[in-house]
Structure 1
Amino acid sequence: MREACHEDVITLRDLSFAYEHKNVLQHVNFSIKQRDFVGLIGSNGAGKTTLLRMIVGLLKPTQGEIHLFGEPISQFKQWERIGYVPQKNSLNPLFPATVREVVMSGLYGKKSLFRRIAKSELQKCEDALHAMSIEDLADKRIGQLSGGQQQRVFLARALINNPDLLILDEPTVGIDPETQEGFFHMIKHMHQHHHITFLMVSHDMDMIETYLGTEPIERSGKLKFYVKHSHDIEDCRETDLTHSLKDLRNKLQSTISYT
């Protein structure tokens, strides 16, 4: 049972969405507490991506309310507290930004777009590039990359700012199994030992059931919400969220060297 002392990070009240008079979501009520890890499962067309897009302000609900960190979404301004990785990034292949520039853009909002970049921020970028195994792609144009490589870039961009809330829509689609394993290892550690809340859409039922349990705690239409709350009291002193992935790689390399 979740502790009442943890604040609501996302609150959905009687949320509905219709597209061209077709109901996509109807009367969704759910709250996500601080340090929850929520797995959102549903069949194609169940409205999973639509729900995430409403939560990050890209779509407006037909009916109902969304609150983020206790504020109505219409008044919410601290978007830097949220990292978001959409399922598919519609990217112009001629877009001139490099991988490093795209990842760095996760550190600042529109108001600080042209400020000087501190050395500590450059290091955060290098750590995020390393975490997703794309450091060798840092100077390439984002449009030159494959779909899987682009997904790694946007994962790195979402992680770089140490968000309070990380929203992931099928984050490992198109990524090789080794990188998937490392990514899941990292986000589990982040959930257990850092003050981060997760909302993730995934079709990886093995991962969902292994970590979040076999039964959803809530159903709404075709949507199922699986939830695990972190009660760990020993938080990491590390501020670099990618350190767990570095530790995993060191262990794997040690194992290989002795076999």
Structure 2
Amino acid sequence: MEQHSGGVLERGADCHQDVISLENVSFSYQGQRQVIDGLNLTVKERDFVGLIGSNGAGKTTLMRIIVGLLKPDGGSVRLFGQPIAEFKDWNRVGYVPQKNSFNPLFPATVREVVMSGLYGRSKLFRRLTKADYQKGEDAMHAMGIEELSAKRIGQLSGGQQQRVFLARALINNPSLLILDEPTVGIDTETQESFFHMIKHMHQHHNITFLMVSHDLDMIRSYLGERPASEYGKLKFYLKHSHDLQDCVESDLTHSLRGLRQQMESRKEVVEVGNFR
């Protein structure tokens, strides 16, 4: 393994293509201190990278740079080997931002937000198929929001909104899933079921994960006790999946349905226990 400074992660020689590549990236908000200075980061296919850092360390800024919402002051950003300015395959990227970055006045229903995950940035409108609508129904059912489908997104609680954005990010079977504190505002039971699901997705599907989390115990339980790399106040934990893609189903909707079934089974066990 090679050790590089500035945030490049360590891994074995049997890894696959670069999914995210940042080289000497710097960024500062206008009139403020430099948030990121000379960051190098490489995330390989089928990596699961967990990012931990204190408030103001640059976690969300880094996520927004990677998905093209912020332009760095210097350095280069590549997705799947392509410069981000030339990258067109945004349907390969699922992104769940922090819930506090969402405009609650956005005039869309829950169903419309979830289904918008099927649109690429270059194709804002296209004819949806019966299979597309079924994916939307599966995603909403998995996250327990099917009864909210006709409500405006701004009418929901923070936890409900986060479930909507999780469903939106998963609906298009992404190759890269970027999650910025995805379980904030969600109850403990759903957090556990969601983390179980994404571990399954990482182990059995060709998906790369980059997740910001405040839950150090959850990160360590799957990615190990020690970070693979550090940059300033940012700590990067890493696990690479060497498992075969041995799911009979290649579509992620079976994982979504499985999550919902698992949640319902747990609820039934609790209810029976309480009755006794």
**Per the shorter chain, which TM-score range?**
over 0.9
Structure 2 counterpart SS, 1:242: helix
CA contact (8 A) 1:91 1:143 kept: no
Task: Name the CA distance, whole Å, in 1 between partners of 2:268 and 2:99.
Answer: 36
Give the count of matched residue pairs: 259
Say whether residues 1:16 and 2:26 are aligned partners.
yes
CA contact (8 A) 2:23 2:77 kept: yes
| 2:46 aligned to which of 11, 15, 35 | 35
Say whether residues 1:206 and 2:220 are aligned partners.
no
TM-score computed with the length of structure 1 as normaliser? 0.93
Aligned position for 2:179: 168
| 1:61 aligned to which of 72, 75, 83 | 72
Structure 1 counterpart SS, 2:94: strand
Mapping for residues 64-143 of structure 1, pairs under 5 Å: 64-143=75-154
Q: Residue by residue, what CA displacement relative to the aligned partner does 1:194-213 show, whole Å, maximum 9, x if unpaired?
A: 00000000011111000000
Task: Name the CA distance, whole Å, in 2 between partners of 1:227 and 1:44.
Answer: 21
Structure 2 counterpart SS, 1:53: helix
TM-score computed with the length of structure 2 as normaliser? 0.88
CA contact (8 A) 1:39 1:227 kept: yes
CA contact (8 A) 1:189 1:244 kept: no
Task: Name the CA distance, whole Å, in 2 between partners of 1:121 and 1:163.
Answer: 14
Going from structure 1 to structure 2, the CA distance change for 1:199 and 1:140 (only over 3 Å counts) comes to same
Percentage of pairs with the same residue: 66
Task: Name the CA distance, whole Å, in 1 between partners of 2:228 and 2:238.
Answer: 7
Where do 5+ consecutive residues of structure 1 fail to align? none
| 1:230 aligned to which of 222, 241, 253 | 241
Aligned position for 1:144: 155
Going from structure 1 to structure 2, the CA distance change for 1:225 and 1:46 (only over 3 Å counts) comes to same
**Pairwise CA RMSD of aligned residues?**
1.8
Aligned position for 1:245: 259
CA contact (8 A) 1:6 1:34 kept: yes
The CA deviation at 1:21 is 4.8
Where do 5+ consecutive residues of structure 2 fail to align? 1-10
